[in-house]
Structure 1
Amino acid sequence: MILLRFRVENHRSIRDEAELSLVQPSLTTVRPKDGDWVGATTRVAGIYGANASGKSTVVDALKFFRATIVESATSWGLRKTIPQKPYLLDPDSKSSASGYAVDVVLGSTRYQYGFEIDARAVRHEWLYDYPSTKHRVLFERDGQEFSFGRSLIGAPRRHASATGERELFLSKAKSNGHELLGTVWSELVDGLVIADFSEQDRRLRLDQITEGIADGDIDLHDVTTLLQVADIGITEVAIDEPETSDGSRPARPGSVMQYYMVRTHLPSIHVESHRESGKTRILLTEKEELKRALTFQHLGFDGTFPLPVDAQSTGTLSWLSLALPALTILRKGGVLIVDEIDASLHPQLSQVILRMFKDPDYNHTGAQLIFTTHDTYLLSNQSDSALLPEETWFTEKHRDGATSLFSLADFPTRDDQNFAKRYLDGRYGGVPRTARSFLASLLDPEARETTDA
């Protein structure tokens, strides 16, 4: 999947429609004349902005878009309302629908898919494709009224009749086995991989990596090599397997790792029924479980030494939990979306990630990276992965609390300009407005009296 554009309206701080485009400015037609979508799009999009300006809101909108596709025809069936996230600082927006749409290339075909929802129902939904230079309607939805293009075969009306008002038609048709719509659903869900650096998210990804290695879905050599790329003194990685019921551990030939057991106390539910009273009592007790864990072989004073995952630095774990998903996306294609890519990572490691996506010698699938950051070195000509104007985006929050999203390519630029300095000087916006006078009121009693007066 190649992402051309993502549009969002009325989501958290984004009140008015905002568009993030990964289309090269040179593409002015519906499709590239040579059919080269990779050459017609950018591989990365870096989003800058002040704290609370809306950078993370763009990521959250992509996350919500994907979650709606996944959950609207499953877990949302148990909800009484849709978990809409409208702009709350305007009464009109608070009661209006929120809109989300993507413009993507799946295989060699361009598609446009989107929907509008409010807290009660899906208001609009549509899917178009471009078999030539003109778009073709596959389906359009207005509330519970559906219309279908002739090219959408597979009894779409039967799937529409089974679609509830809080369900996306795309999701319902996929769950009911529609071939084309199921393919579009899978491409969108599998092609959008979203990562952040919260402790919970990092731990979840590390657990998934551990289980993936143990199950053979992830190559242990890849994990070790990525850690060696970061040059942090790790020479080997292995999996600690839990003990079997007889106290033994399964052998792992060739491993020099010592085993490190991780025990977690999880609630176990026991139900007691009393026949005489007819009452049922539910008891929660603690149950000890053994989990697989990663172990790391570190260079030391005299040889190498094994250390458990809990002994690793935050930077090491952040690198591993980001670099491996990046490698996976690069191999199969798709879009990796990272909130605060520079969190817990050295700037040079952020550059390594960017280089992996921007360099065609590494990126053979046209994979893309969208990230938020404060790292202005990535705007500098001194960076070997410097962002180009069309790869650079800014968010700015206005006095009414609404976020705008715009590109450095919207400004007149020259290759010899120092974009980092000009950004920090406020030439492009997207920098904090500080009120330093308030600092005096915090530290100087006389100034505080003046402020209060």
Structure 2
Amino acid sequence: MLLRFRVANVRSLRDEQELSFVVPEGDEGTGARRLPLSDGKQLALYPVLGIFGANASGKSNVITALKKMSQAVLSSYAEWTSYDGIPRDEFALDPEAAAEKTFYEVDFVLEDGVRWTYGFELGATRVESEWLFAYPKGRRNTWFDRDASREKVYDFPGARLQDRARLASTTRRNSLLLTRAANDGHPQLTPIYDWFKRNLWDITPEAERSQREAYTAQRLLESETSRRRVEELLRVADLGIAGADVELQPGKPPVVRLRHSGAGEEPVSLDWQAESFGTRSWFALIGPLLLALDTGAVLLVDELDASLHSRFAAEVVRLFQTPWVNPKGAQLIFTAHDPSLFRTPSGRRLLEPGQLWLTEKDERGATELFPISDWEPTDEQDLMSSYLAGSFGGVPRVSEGQVGRRLLETDTSAQMETEEI
């Protein structure tokens, strides 16, 4: 499970920012889970984090940064050639940022309960530093520490790692040691690499939707149980769907036709292109959502509310929040605009203050990321109303009617300039 993510100098995330699933002390609420650790202790974690904020405040960049870290781990050895440099996408509004390092770090726990910290810093042409720590008994064990500025770049304290000399001599200056090791099936480091391979799946409303639709269609064909799960999620969305049919075509994506309840006794099958954007978006989300729940993975959903009604977006959150639906501890990170996701229709909190993260840009155009729990709201405080009132920040700095007044002023100025001519 993912505990924390830290990042700096990626897109609008100029200074180091942290996103954390760890429950603030004394703030467990109703959504927290207790994760057993290898040292016999337990750690309280949230299964869901929601990121809210004004347009262009950097919400999506948090998701992008997580994805970029994963891409670096999975592809640095094969794709970062010595001729092309290192892809970084550093902060663009400060010329000095190009000469500074890009920083990534994650804390996570594997199935055996051991907590790990892995991170790295990237320059324009080389990996500046890389590190891996384990906490099997609560105390930090350094597995490797890489620093390109040292005469001896690699340090392997305690001789815990196999094939140390070979890894140090064969890892390119612009490749991650973790990637290099996993490409050779290193028995100790491959499980760390595999954590990235199985997690941090990124979903946006439009990107790769056809592939996700095809994957959900395959889930319909896997087994009768899998079909029932997919069809039930389609029906519960209140889309008037009675079932789904899938037709396989050699060398082509599967053809899906959803059966809709109509005026007659028999459901009516519609051509896939006739389905609404919302229906297709929900169908494309079902496959990855079920895969995350089945495997205990971390799912990243950008703009969860972009094509789903807020009531149903809230149901997606509840799938991850409910222990008996999510027994393997899958985690969800989503971005959204709709603050109605702060609470249920009955007025109770859907997400605790530590699960609600806000993004706000400073005077430099850099994103600041922080949880509402930093403001220490009371148990009785209506988080949605307080957020909309600007009590926590993270809302557009615009007064009622300001957009219309600015437009009118622009039109008036343009008319006066025309008359003067």
Normalising by structure 1, we get a TM-score of 0.83
Structure 2 spans left out of the alignment, 5+ residues: 28-34
Secondary structure, in 3 states, of the residue corresponding to 1:179?
coil
8 Å contact from structure 1 (residues 338, 370) kept in 2: yes
8 Å contact from structure 1 (residues 6, 19) kept in 2: yes
What letter is aligned with 1:294? V
Distance 2:318 2:122 in 1: 38
What's the counterpart of residue 391 of structure 1? 355
Q: How do residues 48-127 of structure 1 correspond to structure 2 at under 5 angstroms?
A: 48-77=52-81, 80-107=84-111, 108-127=113-132
1:208 counterpart = 2:215? yes
Q: Using the TM superposition, give the Cα deviation of residue 413 of structure 1 relative to its aligned residue in structure 2, in angstroms.
A: 0.8
Identify if the C-alpha distance between structure 1 residues 22 and 43 changes in structure 2 by more than 3 Å, giving closer, same or farther: same
Q: Using the TM superposition, give the Cα deviation of residue 399 of structure 1 relative to its aligned residue in structure 2, in angstroms.
A: 1.7
Secondary structure, in 3 states, of the residue corresponding to 1:415?
coil
1:348 counterpart = 2:311? yes
Distance 1:385 1:327 in 2: 25
What's the counterpart of residue 323 of structure 1? 286
8 Å contact from structure 2 (residues 215, 287) kept in 1: no
Secondary structure, in 3 states, of the residue corresponding to 1:139?
strand
Secondary structure, in 3 states, of the residue corresponding to 1:292?
strand
8 Å contact from structure 1 (residues 63, 194) kept in 2: yes
8 Å contact from structure 1 (residues 354, 385) kept in 2: no
Q: Using the TM superposition, give the Cα deviation of residue 34 of structure 1 relative to its aligned residue in structure 2, in angstroms.
A: 5.3
8 Å contact from structure 1 (residues 440, 448) kept in 2: no
What's the counterpart of residue 36 of structure 1? 42
Identify if the C-alpha distance between structure 1 residues 202 and 383 changes in structure 2 by more than 3 Å, giving closer, same or farther: farther
Structure 1 spans left out of the alignment, 5+ residues: 244-288
1:171 counterpart = 2:179? yes
Distance 2:383 2:221 in 1: 45
What's the counterpart of residue 264 of structure 1? none
Distance 2:411 2:301 in 1: 38
What's the counterpart of residue 31 of structure 2? none
Distance 2:134 2:214 in 1: 38
8 Å contact from structure 1 (residues 226, 324) kept in 2: no
Q: 378-387 vs 297-306, which deviates more?
A: 378-387
Identify if the C-alpha distance between structure 1 residues 413 and 79 changes in structure 2 by more than 3 Å, giving closer, same or farther: same
Identify if the C-alpha distance between structure 1 residues 292 and 218 changes in structure 2 by more than 3 Å, giving closer, same or farther: farther
What's the counterpart of residue 406 of structure 2? 438
8 Å contact from structure 1 (residues 377, 383) kept in 2: no
What's the counterpart of residue 225 of structure 1? 232
Q: 229-238 vs 213-222, which deviates more?
A: 213-222
What's the counterpart of residue 268 of structure 2? 305
Normalising by structure 2, we get a TM-score of 0.89
Q: Using the TM superposition, give the Cα deviation of residue 127 of structure 1 relative to its aligned residue in structure 2, in angstroms.
A: 0.5
Secondary structure, in 3 states, of the residue corresponding to 1:326?
helix
What letter is aligned with 1:110? R
Distance 1:124 1:212 in 2: 41
Root-mean-square deviation (CA), in Å? 2.6
Q: How do residues 266-305 of structure 1 correspond to structure 2 at under 5 angstroms?
A: 290-302=252-264, 303-305=266-268
Distance 1:15 1:241 in 2: 47
Q: Using the TM superposition, give the Cα deviation of residue 60 of structure 1 relative to its aligned residue in structure 2, in angstroms.
A: 0.5
Q: Using the TM superposition, give the Cα deviation of residue 31 of structure 1 relative to its aligned residue in structure 2, in angstroms.
A: 8.3
8 Å contact from structure 2 (residues 181, 190) kept in 1: yes
8 Å contact from structure 2 (residues 88, 122) kept in 1: yes
What letter is aligned with 1:296? L
Residue deviations 1:400-419 (CA, integer Å, cap 9, x gap): 11110111010021121111
Identify if the C-alpha distance between structure 1 residues 202 and 186 changes in structure 2 by more than 3 Å, giving closer, same or farther: same
What's the counterpart of residue 9 of structure 1? 8
Distance 2:219 2:121 in 1: 36
Residue deviations 1:101-156 (CA, integer Å, cap 9, x gap): 00001120000000111221111110000011211101111128111133533213
Residue deviations 1:220-243 (CA, integer Å, cap 9, x gap): 232212101212121221221227
Q: Count how many residue pairs are aligned between Structure 1 and Structure 2.
A: 401
Identify if the C-alpha distance between structure 1 residues 291 and 48 changes in structure 2 by more than 3 Å, giving closer, same or farther: closer
